[in-house]
Amino acid sequence: MMQESGGVKPDNTTFNAVLSACSHSGLIDKGIEVFTFMIHTYGIEPTTDHFSCIVDLLGVAEYLDEAEKLVKGRHVDVDSTVW
């Protein structure tokens, strides 16, 4: 709906809420899509909170190797909450 309205641009908080909702709802594919969209379409660099959500999402789906590759591949400082 935000995209369709044209006047509202999602921010870090918006994406964090959507990623968290995807994680809690088991919407793995949608969560990955939103995470990618956040980075490539809006140019938002993921924060520790974003990584925590996406790692949780991948972990629940038992995609642990993918979660590890994602975090290590971004070369960002993450704290213990992500791991």
Residue 29 domain boundaries: 9-73
Distance of CA 18 to the CA centre of its chain: 8
Residue 1 lies in a domain: no
CB within 8 A of 49, min separation 6: which ones? 12, 16
What pTM does this model have? 0.82
Q: Is 61 within the bounds of a domain?
A: yes
On whether residue 3 sits in a domain, the answer given is no
83 or 16, higher pLDDT: 16
Q: Is residue 51 part of a domain?
A: yes
What digits encode the pLDDT tens for the residues 17-56? 999 999 899 899 999 999 999 999 999 988 888 988 998 9
Is residue 16 included in any domain, yes or no?
yes
Dihedral (C-alpha) 68, 23, 17, 45: value to the nearest 10 degrees? 20
- Nearest alpha-carbon partner for 71 in 55, 58, 56, 53: 55
Name the domain count of the chain: 1
